[in-house]
Amino acid sequence: QSALTQPASVSGSPGQSITISCTGTSSDVGGYDYVSWYQQHPGKAPKVMIYDVTNRPSGVSNRFSGSKSGNTASLTISGLQAEDEADYYCSSYISSGTVVFGGGTKLTVL
Amino acid sequence: QVQLVQSGAEVKKSGASVKVSCKASGYTFSGYYMYWVRQAPGQGLEWMGWINPNSGGTNYAQKFQGRVTMTRDTSISTAYMELSSLRSDDLAVYYCAKSRGWGQLDYWGQGTLVTVSS
């Protein structure tokens, strides 16, 4: 199973909005509404920001939102803040509990 | 509150095995699958497999078939991941993570660094 495709890096200025894409196939992203997004700061464990494509866990800022169209899922962060600078990973359910991750996107807040 | 506390860093010789533990608290351990994910230095996340704490059933990524064994001890709410025949490219941080269902991981351990020396 190949990794999902994410841009290596994205950047934005404080207050702006950015979108990170996550492209798979009809066997993963396109086939299930079980896409998650994780934020990882250097030296820390990943933290779930979005699950079930669009849902935010309790405690996650509403500046984070998720969507999906066809085989591509997206994470949008609005009102960028310095603390949003981190690596972001998408993941998708495949089958039998198997998951596949994206290669990760480094977000830089200028 | 949900917590996953992993065992400490390990240094192993090439060819040896390592066993990482993950002690869960704050939820019903047997009710949720436990996943194992690793991350090599400067690299992305890699799914290794999962264990159903209730039944002990497992599913391993093809890449690790034959080298990884995931077990659990429900009496102490602890999951284990053992990786054998270690080689240099097994150098990574190994995470356990609780699944909320369908492979979506809502709580993660702090990670365990495994270093492989020749």
What pLDDT does B112 receive? 98
Helix (H) or strand (E) holding A90: strand A86-93
What pLDDT does A95 receive? 82
Pure H helices in A1-110 = none
In this structure, are residues B59 and B49 in contact, taking their beta carbons and an 8 Å threshold?
A: yes
Q: Could you read off the pLDDT of A16-44 as tens digits, one per residue?
A: 999 999 999 999 999 999 999 999 999 99
Q: Could you read off the pLDDT of B66-117 as tens digits, one per residue?
A: 999 999 999 999 999 999 999 999 999 999 999 998 989 999 999 999 999 9
- CB of B33 within 8 Å of any CB in chain A? yes
Q: Min CA distance, A63 vs chain B (Å)?
A: 19
Q: Is the dihedral of CA A5, B60, B11, B94 positive or negative?
A: positive
Would you tell me which residues 6-25 of chain B have a C-beta closer than 8 angstroms to some C-beta of chain A? none
Q: Min CA distance, B110 vs chain A (Å)?
A: 6
Residue with tokens 């509404």: A33
DSSP-based three-state secondary structure for A82: helix
Partners of residue A3 in chain B, C-beta under 8 Å: 44
- DSSP class of residue A34 equals -
Instruction: Say how far residue B62 (Cα) sits from the centre of its chain.
Output: 15
What pLDDT does B118 receive? 83
Asked whether residue A1 carries a pLDDT value surpassing 80, the answer given is no
SS3 letters across chain B:
CCEEEECCCEEEECCCCEEEEEEEECCCHHHCCEEEEEECCCCCEEEEEEECCCCCCEEECHHHCCCEEEEEEHHHCEEEEEECCCCHHHCEEEEEEEECCCCCEEEECCCEEEEEEC
The structure tokens listed for A104 are 């990760």
Partners of residue B61 in chain A, C-beta under 8 Å: 98
Q: Could you read off the pLDDT of B13-67 as tens digits, one per residue?
A: 999 999 999 999 999 999 999 999 999 999 999 999 999 999 999 999 999 999 9
CB contact under 8 Å between B95 and A45, yes or no, is: yes
Interface of A with B (CB under 8 A): 3, 32, 34, 36, 38, 45-48, 51-52, 57, 89, 91-94, 96-104
- CB of B95 within 8 Å of any CB in chain A? yes
- Which of A33, A99, A105, A106 should we substitute to test contact with B (largest number of B Cβ atoms within 10 Å)? A99
- Which of A4, A32, A41, A48 should we substitute to test contact with B (largest number of B Cβ atoms within 10 Å)? A48
- DSSP class of residue A54 equals T
What pLDDT does B72 receive? 98
Q: How confident is the model at residue A2 (pLDDT cuts 50, 70, 90)?
A: confident
What pLDDT does A33 receive? 95
What pLDDT does A96 receive? 81
What pLDDT does A97 receive? 81
Q: What integer best gives the mean pLDDT of chain B?
A: 97
Q: Could you read off the pLDDT of A42-100 as tens digits, one per residue?
A: 999 999 999 999 999 999 999 999 999 999 999 999 999 999 999 999 999 998 889 99
